[in-house]
Amino acid sequence: MDLETLKSHALYPPLLLGCVALLASASLALAASATREAIREAEARDLRDSLAQVLPAGYADNDLLADSAQVETGRGAPLTIYRAKRDGVTCGAVFRVYGKGYGGEIVILMAVDQEGVLLGARVLKHTETPGLGDKIEAAKSDWIGEFSGKSLATARWAVKKDGGDFDQFAGATITPRAVVNAVHTGLETFRQHQSAILGRPADGNFSSLSPLGERARERGEFFPNETFSQEKEHGS
Ligand SMILES: Cc1cc2nc3c(=O)[nH]c(=O)nc-3n(C[C@H](O)[C@H](O)[C@H](O)COP(=O)(O)O)c2cc1C
């Protein structure tokens, strides 16, 4: 059949349209997949930069992005944590916490050592008012730098106006209060789920293990992450 005969066929227009649509959607899918990959790479790069900001230089010798885990906290979605390791041993953890500021959600990345002492915190995302609430950014002021080295035991986790240790900003208390509360909650979460977050019993202290953990300890096993997620799921 030559082209002219084909064109005069009743099925030619819908077939042609179908082919064009197929080509268009295939190229769209290809472009979307390439974009997704680029976005994933950019996000990983950003996260790596942020991790480097909350952890002191040389603190860990592992690739934290490759050492992530999900920990059930019993509050909403599981907490994604990145484990800092030295010679294969977890020496800290990094995770995100969320505060409700004046302009909306504030996303904070915080790093703690294995004892729950804050190594560093950085605001990743916020919509606070420039000149008022944005002093929470490390680039705008060193306010958040004051958090490092503090723990639940060594600080009163509230702004000074509320009886705590942290400065509020002139005419803008809502934003710093939200950040302090969020980091405080993060430290509480770490304390409650220390073993699961570190992927091992804290300080070799086995006293708070569930029966499952006790049995593993008796067998002399080092505790894999799964053991702890199972323990959490069983509510221990
Ligand atoms: C336009 C506008 C923007 C504001 N932005 C912020 C902000 O980003 N962060 C903040 O804490 N307060 C902000 N405030 C002030 C709060 O409304 C509130 O008065 C203040 O946080 C309370 O702090 P104070 O108890 O020290 O007065 C803003 C107020 C106005 C009118």
- Co-location of 186 and 139 in the same domain: yes
- Co-location of 120 and 169 in the same domain: yes
Confidence category of residue 228, pLDDT binned at 50, 70, 90: very low
Instruction: Tell the residue nearest (CA) to atom 4 of ligand 1.
Output: 129
- Co-location of 99 and 20 in the same domain: no
pLDDT number for residue 201:
60
- Co-location of 82 and 186 in the same domain: yes
Tens of pLDDT, residues 22-67: 898 888 888 888 888 999 899 889 999 999 999 999 999 999 999 9
Tens of pLDDT, residues 184-219: 999 999 999 999 999 876 454 433 444 434 444 454
Instruction: Tell the residue nearest (CA) to atom 14 of ligand 1.
Output: 172
- Co-location of 78 and 165 in the same domain: yes
- Co-location of 146 and 92 in the same domain: yes
Give residue ranges with CB within 6 A of ligand 1.
102-103, 128-129, 132-133, 168, 171-175
Number of folded domains that form the chain: 2
Tens of pLDDT, residues 150-189: 999 999 999 999 999 999 999 999 999 999 999 999 999 9
Q: What percent of the chain has pLDDT over 90?
A: 64
Atom of ligand 1 nearest to the CA of 177: 11
Q: Examine residue 84 and state whether it is found in any structural domain, yes or no.
A: yes
pLDDT at 222 over 60: no
**Looking up tokens 């099925």, which residue turns up?**
11
The continuous run of DSSP H or E covering 68 comes out as strand 68-71
Tens of pLDDT, residues 81-100: 999 999 999 999 999 999 99
The continuous run of DSSP H or E covering 91 comes out as strand 89-100
Q: Examine residue 225 and state whether it is found in any structural domain, yes or no.
A: no
Pocket residue to mutate for ligand 1, from 162, 167, 174, most atoms within 8 A of Cβ: 174
**Looking up tokens 């992005």, which residue turns up?**
65
What pTM did the predictor assign? 0.76
Instruction: Tell the residue nearest (CA) to atom 1 of ligand 1.
Output: 129
- Average model confidence (pLDDT) across the chain: 85
Angle formed at CA 118 by CA 190 and CA 222, multiple of 5 degrees = 45
Residues linked to residue 85 through DSSP beta bridges, in sequence order: 90
Supply the range of the domain harboring residue 20.
3-40
Q: At what angle do helices 211-218 and 225-233 cross, to 10 degrees?
A: 150
Confidence category of residue 233, pLDDT binned at 50, 70, 90: very low
- Co-location of 17 and 99 in the same domain: no
Instruction: Tell the residue nearest (CA) to atom 18 of ligand 1.
Output: 172
Q: Examine residue 234 and state whether it is found in any structural domain, yes or no.
A: no
Atom of ligand 1 nearest to the CA of 170: 26
Atom of ligand 1 nearest to the CA of 174: 11
Angle formed at CA 209 by CA 208 and CA 211, multiple of 5 degrees = 135
105-113: strand order across its sheet: 68-71, 79-86, 89-100, 105-113, 118-125
Residue 62: strand, helix, or coil = coil
Backbone phi and psi for residue 213, each to the nearest 5 degrees, phi listed first: -65, -40
Q: Examine residue 71 and state whether it is found in any structural domain, yes or no.
A: yes
- Co-location of 80 and 190 in the same domain: yes
pLDDT number for residue 83:
97
Q: What is the mean pLDDT of residues 133-138?
A: 97
Q: Examine residue 194 and state whether it is found in any structural domain, yes or no.
A: yes
- Co-location of 7 and 75 in the same domain: no
Angle formed at CA 46 by CA 43 and CA 51, multiple of 5 degrees = 120
- Co-location of 142 and 105 in the same domain: yes
Distance (Å, rounded) from C-alpha 158 to C-alpha 179?
Answer: 9
Tell me which DSSP letter residue 202 carries: G
- Co-location of 7 and 105 in the same domain: no
Q: What count of other Cβ atoms lies within 10 Å of the Cβ of residue 105?
A: 13
Q: Examine residue 109 and state whether it is found in any structural domain, yes or no.
A: yes
CA of 95 relative to ligand 1 center, distance in Å: 28
- Calculated CA dihedral for residues 165, 167, 173, 178, nearest 10 degrees: -60
- Co-location of 103 and 192 in the same domain: yes
